[in-house]
Amino acid sequence: MSRKVKSVSFLKGEHREIVEADSRTGKFLLKYNVYGKYGSTRLVSRSYNLYRFVTHEQVKNCDPVLTLESGDKIRVYHGGDQTQMLAQAAGLIERHDKTQTLRKSLLEKVKKNSLKEVQDVEERRESFAYNLDFVFDDDDYDGIF
């Protein structure tokens, strides 16, 4: 039984919108309208970690539900009330965000080490002295022919 969060669904109008986690970053993409000063609107899309996603203004009032990889569904807030987050959901959210942060830091560390190795190889290549001033003396050649 896998306890990993696969997606989050929330009510949007008359239907449930399902947002899948990005496989590389573990973040969730939220698209919403922002209203301007003079009545203009524009569509904004941003990626959030799981905690920021379920506590976002556009999602927390819309009964978010976590879907796990095993197929289980867990409601984030007790009875849809945004002031009472369920302990089980809070634990899953915290674990998801922690593993994604750890994964990101490990990837950055590996990338940093590989860049350092590439720089070391380049420095060794530059320090290796090539003797391109090779002179061929006819006197040193005994001649086979």
Contacts of 17 by beta carbon, 8 Å cutoff, 6+ apart = 9, 10, 11
Res 13: pLDDT: 86
User: Distance between CA atoms of 97 and 50, rounded to whole angstroms?
Assistant: 6
DSSP code for 3:
-
DSSP code for 87:
H
Arithmetic mean of pLDDT, 35-55? 90
Res 3: pLDDT: 80
Average pLDDT, the chain: 81
Which of 103, 98, 107, 97 is closest to 48 using CA atoms? 97
Residue spans of the domains in the chain: they are 5-119
pTM more than 0.85: no
Q: Is the pLDDT of residue 11 over 70?
A: yes
Q: Is the pLDDT of residue 91 over 60?
A: yes
Render pLDDT for 23-34 as a digit per residue (tens, 0 to 9).
888 889 999 888
Q: Is the pLDDT of residue 72 over 60?
A: yes
Arithmetic mean of pLDDT, 76-96? 86
Percent of the residues in the chain that have a pLDDT greater than 70, as a whole number: 79
Res 109: pLDDT: 81
